[in-house]
Amino acid sequence: MANTPGSKKAIRKIARRTEVNKARRSRVRTFLRKFEEALQGGDAAAAKTAFVEAQSELMRAVGKGLVHKNSGARKVSRLHAQLKKLGAA
């Protein structure tokens, strides 16, 4: 258990950051799920809109340090590939 005042403060800070990051991660997953649902529905216009929102949210998470920039770029790239496949089909 933490003994020094500094370590106790660090624990409090970590707890606050964890809550914020949980909310952000949940938000990103929600937008990704909406995109997946739009793909499953087969509606290209809805999928395009959902893709733009998901991409924006992912890049925002990258900016906040929640996701590494290469991971975010890879995810966006894969989402875009799925979108293109839907348009071609």
What's the pLDDT band for 45 if we cut at 50, 70, 90? very high
How far apart CA 55 and CA 61 sit, in angstroms, is 10
pTM of the model: 0.85
Is residue 83's pLDDT more than 80? yes
Which domains are seen in the chain, by residue range? 5-88 (1.20.58.110)
Task: Using the predicted structure, report yes or no on whether residue 12 has a pLDDT greater than 90.
Answer: yes
Whether 8 shows a pLDDT value over 90: the answer reads yes
Write out the two tokens for 89. 């089909």
**Number of Cβ atoms within 10 Å of the Cβ of 70:** 9
